Each structure stands twice: as structure tokens, then as C-alpha cells.
Amino acid sequence: MGLLMAKTVVANPGLVHKKSIWLTIWQSKYIYLMLLPLFVWLAVFCYAPMYGILMAFKNFKARLGILGSPWCGMDHFVRIFQTPDAVRAIRNTIIISFGRLVFEFPMGILLALMLTEMPGKRVKKAYQTIYTFPHFLSWIIVAGIINNFLSSNGAVNVWLKSLGITPINFLANTGSFRAVLYVTSDWKEMGWAAIIFMAAIAGIDPSLYEAATVDGASRLQQIWHVTLPGILTTICVMLILQVGNMMNAGFDQVFNMYNDVVKQVSNILDTYIYNITFLATPNYGFSTAVGLFKSVINFIMLIVANGVVYRLSGQKMFQ
């Protein structure tokens, strides 16, 4: 009998593997039971709504419903590249997102390094709290604060006038508006981003710093040769996620800060979708096509970034 079972196992090695998986699930059944609400939430709010992407391929009519509306194939996607406002929104999205990658992503790393190198736990915690607090403010509140400082009658321009300098309306200037986006986003989010990198730094073996000190390495050399290599995996993962989010250029911030004067340089895909859906005669099929186009590009960028980072550093987020 035992010989027969052994032969069965050899003939069907996948059978043991399948049994071991189900056995493991059964042994951890209470953990999976705790995860059940999460699976239900994902199914109801993340996967079920994907049924609506059919509208991107249909001339949607509300009275006919999604299934009853006539198919139009790729017409909506062709229209994206034939509409000047849509093309401009794509270009603005790419430019602003690339700017965020250059001017915002490194700030969390730099802040984490500076806070880690600060002496004194109390001072370090105080600064960490100060830098993290803006993350919890709504962009509506932040936009109001920025408007009070940078508008034509704001505090900054009042100060410039007192010095005899010509005022600059930063929020209505196409040359400075994107810079305002980067600076305000850094102020609001770099403290929160730094938390992730500080956690990674805390996991580095202290003996590495001791060995570097014995070898005569300065603090900057320790940062370059110990700290940065120690958090390289975290940096790579965060970079991949950032690149995979390239077509989301920050709707909340842009929507609350932009205006008609700077619309040519600030109207991104998300605000474009909002405008054509809620501020004009809605074409839900076209709006859905723009949103689906944005999501597909994000997915492609995620895969490409994962491959490029793996080739350059040997680190990747998924297989």
C-alpha cells in the first residue's frame, strides 16, 4: 500500500503541492476568515465597478444602459488624440509628473537623512512632527493658505511692494505656477514620505556604522557607503510606485490651486475628465475612455519601471 502511494506521489508531484496549499489554508483558516471582509470590500468596490469600463467602447445612452448601448469600438480612444484639449492635458500630466519625480521624490530621502543625523531624540521628534503635520491638512485648506501668501494681494507681494519690487502673481503666472505646485507639495508631503525612509534607515545594522567609523569614514562617507545602500531596496520600490503613478499628477492639489489663466499649463488628465464630465455636456463613453487610457499607461509605466530598475540595481518590486 505504501509503495502504491509513493508511486502515486511520484506520478503526480502536483498533487502533494495542491494538498499542502489547501492544508496550509485550512491550518490558517482563522487568519483567512479575518481577511474575508477585505476580500468582500475589494470585490464590491474595486472589481465590480470595472464592469463600467465597457462604456469606453460604447456610445453610452442612459436610457439603454451599459449593455444596451451600441458599440463604437476604439472611436473614443481615437478622439483623445484628435482633441487639442485632451492632447494638452496629456502633455501637462507628463511634464508635471516628471517634475514631481525630479523635485519631490528625492526630498523625502534628504529629509530622512537629515532627521536621522540630528543629535538628540527630543529635537528629532519635534522636527519630525513639524514636517509631518502638513500631510494631514486637506488641499482645500492648503490652497487657501497659499492663496493668502502668493496671490496678487498676498503677504509675499505686499512685502515685495514694500521693497519697491514689482509684485508677481504666482498663482496666475504660467511661468511660476508649476514651481508653486512642486514647492507646496514638498512642504505638505515630504515629512510623510520621510517616515518610510527613516524606518528603513532604522533597520540598518549599527555594526556597519561602527566598522565605517573604525575605518575613518566621515559622516558623509557613511551616508554614501552605508545608509544609502542600506535603503536602496526601499528607494527602488518607492521609485517604481512613483513612476507607475505618472499619469496621476495630483488632482486634489491642481484642482484647488489652478485657474483659467494658468489652465494651459496646469490642466491635467484628471481635471480634464472632471471638466468634460461635470462642467460640459457629458459624454460618459469618452470620459471613461480617457480614464481607461490613463490607467493602462500607468500600468505599462509600472512594468517598465520595474524592469529598468531591476536591470540597473538588481532590485525589483515583483517577479
Secondary structure (DSSP) of 34-62? HHHHHHHHHIIIIIGGGGGGGGGGB--BT
Q: Which amino acid is at 315?
A: Q
- Identify whether residues 130 and 265 lie together within a single domain: yes
How many other C-beta atoms can be found within 10 angstroms of the C-beta atom of residue 245? 17
Name the strand (E) or helix (H) holding 103: helix 84-103
- Identify whether residues 211 and 305 lie together within a single domain: yes
Does residue 319 lie within any of the structural domains?
A: no
Does residue 73 lie within any of the structural domains?
A: no
Counting beta carbons within 10 angstroms of the beta carbon of residue 177, is it exposed (0 to 12), middle (13 to 18) or buried (19 or more)? buried
Number of domains in the chain: 2
Instruction: Identify the bridge partners of residue 11 per DSSP, sorted by sequence position.
Output: none
Between CA 133 and CA 140, with CA 139 as vertex, the angle to 5 degrees is: 120
Q: Has residue 3 got a pLDDT over 60?
A: no
Does residue 52 lie within any of the structural domains?
A: yes
- Identify whether residues 189 and 302 lie together within a single domain: yes
- Give the C-alpha separation, 255 to 267, whole Å: 9
Q: Which residues, 6 or more positions from 41, have their beta carbon under 8 angstroms from its beta carbon?
A: none
Q: Has residue 155 got a pLDDT over 90?
A: no
pLDDT at residue 165, as a whole number: 85
Does residue 4 lie within any of the structural domains?
A: no
End of a domain among 44, 68, 92? Answer: 68
CA 245 remoteness from chain centre: 5
Backbone angles phi, psi at 48, to 5 degrees: -60, -40
- Identify whether residues 44 and 100 lie together within a single domain: no
- Identify whether residues 46 and 153 lie together within a single domain: no
- Per-residue pLDDT band for 317 (boundaries 50, 70, 90) equals low
- Mean of per-residue pLDDT scores for the chain: 87
- Identify whether residues 46 and 182 lie together within a single domain: no
Whole-model pTM: value is 0.83
- Give the C-alpha separation, 176 to 56, whole Å: 36
- Identify whether residues 271 and 302 lie together within a single domain: yes
> Mind listing the pLDDT tens digit for each residue in 87-107?
999 999 999 999 999 999 999
Q: Which residues, 6 or more positions from 266, have their beta carbon under 8 angstroms from its beta carbon?
A: 92, 96, 177, 178, 181, 254, 257, 258
Q: Has residue 206 got a pLDDT over 60?
A: yes
- Identify whether residues 178 and 294 lie together within a single domain: yes
- Identify whether residues 64 and 194 lie together within a single domain: no
Cell of 167: 509684485
Does residue 236 lie within any of the structural domains?
A: yes
Lowest mean pLDDT among 108-122, 133-147, 240-254, 303-317: 303-317
Domain that holds residue 33: 14-68
Does residue 2 lie within any of the structural domains?
A: no
Indicate which CATH number applies to the domain containing 179.
1.10.3720.10
- Identify whether residues 134 and 214 lie together within a single domain: yes
- Identify whether residues 160 and 179 lie together within a single domain: yes
- Identify whether residues 62 and 162 lie together within a single domain: no
Using CA atoms, how far residue 306 sits from 312, 313, 314, in Å, is 10, 11, 10
- Quickly list DSSP for 191-255: HHHHHHHHHHHHTS-HHHHHHHHHTT--HHHHIIIIIHHHTHHHHHHHHHHHHTTTT---HHHHH
Give the residue-averaged pLDDT of 146-158. 86
